[in-house]
A and B are shown apart, each in its own frame.
Chain A
């Protein structure tokens, strides 16, 4: 691998890698059983430099910003390298966001150039604000022959064979603007420097070295900070191979393992659980004798790998299982959200170590990672070399907010000094996560201090961003909170969003201090139909109501909205991407506390709700 201490910017490091391993395969792009591309580092360079030159011809230069909205594919990385070569700043945007959200982030980032896949471009052009974007060059990949591009250019035709000029950058210069979330009123554009990336890459590859011949299966979106690092910068600066899949269906992922003899892959907890379920099912279907033999072998493997992974031994003991993973898998990595220890242990016992990590975009990706020395299923590992972790204001159990300091912490939030100063205090990044550090230096996460949720797919969702979906609702006011922020829980699973609604008029049904009249019961049963149908016996957040309540299992009538209002909320909720939906609503019958400029005082409102309402008052949609 390259010694990254000697390089000042990503463009320089990538250029050195490309020249050092010209004949190694750097990139394979597969789609089902087809291969769309297989490039050596030399061919990668031959594709990227004419593109960089064409960008420069179009006036792209030092600090010019170029946004990419693409699924994982070769043109993503080719474009990114060209942007760095020309000294530009890359804005990787999430292809899974809605077109309206992408347009909002494009406007916020002030990207001059947009590189986008055809189907995503078509959606964006239908957005109301598309025509007012400041983007002066749009490059569309894979547009069908004969498609009208209305001023945009075809990526495939955008090249100039003359050599581009390499534009060097300093370590402190911005390399990327990565949106950690926040498509509502306040986008969070993390400005990450070349130093952030080079130091992060150095720390990660010291723990898990890549080399020529190592094959990394890239399935997390490349716009995500994790894949950008371990599915691009990391492997490329080590001469390794990245394999892209154009489809993420579990059966094709399984096939890719064996076809490409994958060495490493990073997943989100949801995919890991899917793999676990599939394996458990296959094990359960084995004939009795083979099932018992497998169980015994797993037990032997567990005993022999207690102190450290022993890949050769595990592959010999559990050959069939490892064959299913291609036979050369060294480790999986998981991050982005909470992973259950039982899942991590399941894979470890099979001889497939899963490096459980913790990080955030603001910290350049990874903060802690399990180094398997020894394997721990109950923690997110130890801080990476060069990263300091501190616990702020720890309680008697040592639990407090996790703070991080080091060279990988972002420079600032784009155009938001106020949020930057709230988040980075005296050089320490306040993560908003609650955790503790044990005597072995392992970090355990125990909940969240900030008003947000993280889905099993690793998506950060900020309640404020969801509020736009309910704008114009015929209520006096409303606000969205994370349930675990309102009612703190020591858990990282089952997080939900709650819509707090202050109805326009006083609820028709007066709060009942005496036995509830018959009329009220009827209203409750009618309006609460949806709630009672789905109200969540299985919901992890549904705490039983106190015994003193009139109706113990469900919120009573005074906490229900009129049926038409509930239906309107449900309809609007369904227009949101499924992971952004609120789980239920909570009726609140007094004015929200507000600042002089009429902004909701969220902290104060949360405190009021916390003291007078419980989870059992939530009406689930």
Chain B
């Protein structure tokens, strides 16, 4: 696509939000970085501009305004904050792609706070019924964004959602960030993806991967018949 798309990244001063912002600044996107603390998010914007002078990036303190301006919205906030964000952007996020990156972990990192039949992404869809919620960037650690090729293999990044066009849009974002996009299925698959990250976090803590680890599906070449 030639036309520059505008992406609002809510929570861009956080670990994940900043990592996503840095990696998407490489693509044909205009980024609006939002956070409650404008100073922090301005620092992220400045750092991106310093390392990539061509990047179109701006800090914003108003989540609703930025989401109104945007074509795509990334909710890079913890699960607990999704409700508050949804209330702010509800009207302006109509029909837009909204990416849920949250993993609804409990405080001890040994389980999820969501009920088994749902997920953070599906709960966000309930809060934003007229938006196209897509689960993405939840199976990758923040450090993976600077090193998407780990031990010689490009990490897979899984995507789930119900709208075909939205899935394609997000696949392009994931590829721009340097990962291998894998569309896993409709939004109901989000629960599985969130549990995959729970497992990865547990393995990280057990085997000390130093937060640089990811998923890779080993498979034969796709059978095109």
Chain A bound to chain B:
no
